[in-house]
């Protein structure tokens, strides 16, 4: 399962367990000043933009949960709550639990719920956040930019696909032999 599927499955489980109206998972690289929205469920409208990046030092529940490495709840004091969750009942807020990692939390799992002080709910959401962390630890990491050469420089002989590109500076179209073969063009006779 890839990282996105892991986050989506974990979030859906958290929303179901909490009987929440929606939720989000934010991730933040270690040492970064922000938490970045990775997946959401039932968070709608332009107000979603308000949740795309959360400063780690803000008073919002996701940031506070990461700073304290403990569950946190924010009352619905922001007008964005009503805008992004139509029909949010009075008293609903954002309950957040950290997604654990070895040094500091990897991110935060948050759900919109009217039940901030339910210890059983905190335990269930913490278990889901731990499951997310375990799955992310075990998932293969994507190649780093320094490891991923230009596709034209890679050996595509084993792949059923080839590479073509366009150098916009010179107007030259770049083809590898596999791409030409797929198109039925003889590479030896092709002059570009």
Is 31 among the domain residues? yes
Is 190 among the domain residues? no
Is 188 among the domain residues? no
Residue 118 shares a structural domain with residue 165: no
**Cβ-based neighbours of 46, under 8 Å, separated by 6 or more:** 83
Q: Could you tell me the CA-to-CA distances from 110 to 37, 75, 164, 183 in Å, in that order?
A: 11, 13, 43, 49
Is 187 among the domain residues? no
Residue 119 has pLDDT above 70, yes or no: yes
pTM value is 0.67
Is 84 among the domain residues? yes
Domain count, the chain: 2
Is 46 among the domain residues? yes
3-state secondary structure of 49: helix
Higher pLDDT, residue 101 or 170: 101
CATH number of the domain that residue 83 is part of: 3.30.450.40
Residue 148 has pLDDT above 60, yes or no: no
Residue 20 shares a structural domain with residue 111: yes
Residue 129 has pLDDT above 90, yes or no: yes
Residue 10 has pLDDT above 50, yes or no: yes
Is 189 among the domain residues? no
Q: What is the pLDDT of residue 150?
A: 45
What is the domain extent for residue 17? 3-138
Q: What is the pLDDT of residue 35?
A: 92
Is 159 among the domain residues? yes
């Amino acid at each position: 399962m890839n990282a996105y599927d892991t986050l989506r499955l974990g979030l859906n489980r958290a929303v179901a367990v909490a009987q929440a109206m929606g939720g989000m998972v934010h991730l933040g690289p270690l040492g970064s000043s922000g938490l970045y929205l990775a997946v959401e469920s039932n968070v709608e409208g332009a107000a979603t933009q308000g949740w795309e990046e959360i400063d780690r030092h803000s008073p919002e529940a996701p940031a506070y949960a990461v700073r304290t490495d403990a569950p946190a709840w924010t009352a619905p004091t922001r007008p964005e709550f009503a805008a992004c969750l139509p029909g949010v009942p009075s008293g609903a807020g954002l309950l957040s639990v950290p997604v654990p990692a070895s040094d500091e939390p990897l991110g935060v799992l948050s759900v919109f719920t009217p039940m901030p002080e339910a210890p059983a709910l905190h335990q269930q959401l913490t278990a889901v956040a731990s499951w997310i962390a375990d799955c992310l630890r075990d998932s293969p990491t994507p190649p780093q930019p320094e490891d991923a050469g230009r596709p034209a420089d890679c050996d595509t002989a084993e792949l059923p696909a080839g590479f073509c590109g366009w150098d916009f500076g010179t107007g030259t179209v770049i083809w590898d032999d596999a791409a030409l073969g797929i198109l039925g063009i003889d590479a030896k006779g092709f002059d570009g």
